[in-house]
Amino acid sequence: MALFLAACTAAAVYGDTIWRTMAPSWPGGGHGFAAAAGFALIVSWSTAGLAFRSAVKLGRPLSRQAVAYWCVSATATAVAVLPTVTLAIFVPGRNGMFLGSVHRGEPMWVEAHWEVCLSLLAGLGVGAALMAVVALVTKPGATGRRRREPTGP
């Protein structure tokens, strides 16, 4: 919850600036940036959560494998900050204005280019489809080791 509130605060201050700066300079313009932000949001938070659960499940906090999981989790969380702030501007405020336009007092770049939201939804969909395929292909708890069958009496 604290991370969401921090993202909303950052979105109110920096959200529209990020869109105005990144959208024109991104390959594909605002559509490319929106699709990449949606994809990165799903993939980075999923990766961070999976790595965090794997590190906690090991039970040995200082083992080499646990440190690797913690590093992957921290990196994925850091990568997820930009898409989170970028997408948090769509949270409506009390006055009905989006959160990103509260600080400026004028319409956001995204409000003037509303069709970019379709690219954002496409990026979210592709990211969710990728995570679903990864979840179906990998088996939970599979370590690659075979269990030994108990031998006779």
Tell me the pLDDT tens digit for each residue of 68-88.
888 888 888 777 777 877 777
Q: What is the pLDDT at residue 34? A: 86
Contacting residues for 93 by C-beta, under 8 A, at least 6 apart? 99, 102
Mean pLDDT (whole number) for 6-26: 78
- Residue 92, Cβ density class (10 Å: 0-12 exposed, 13-18 middle, ≥19 buried): exposed
Q: Does any domain span residue 75?
A: yes
Q: What are phi and psi of 98, to 5 degrees?
A: -65, 155
Q: Does any domain span residue 130?
A: yes
User: CA angle, corner 107, sides to 105 and 110, nearest 5?
Assistant: 135
Q: Does any domain span residue 124?
A: yes
Mean pLDDT (whole number) for 98-103: 63
Q: Does any domain span residue 107?
A: yes
Residue 92 · residue 86 · CB < 8 Å: no
Q: Does any domain span residue 20?
A: no
Mean pLDDT (whole number) for 80-109: 69
Percent of the chain whose pLDDT exceeds 90: 1
Q: Does any domain span residue 150?
A: no
Range of the domain at 89: 33-136
Q: Does any domain span residue 12?
A: no
Number of domains observed in the structure of the chain: 1
Q: Does any domain span residue 92?
A: yes
pTM of the model: 0.70
Question: Poorest-confidence range of 39-48, 50-59, 144-153?
Answer: 144-153
Tokens 């979840």 correspond to what residue?
135
Mean pLDDT (whole number) for 103-117: 75
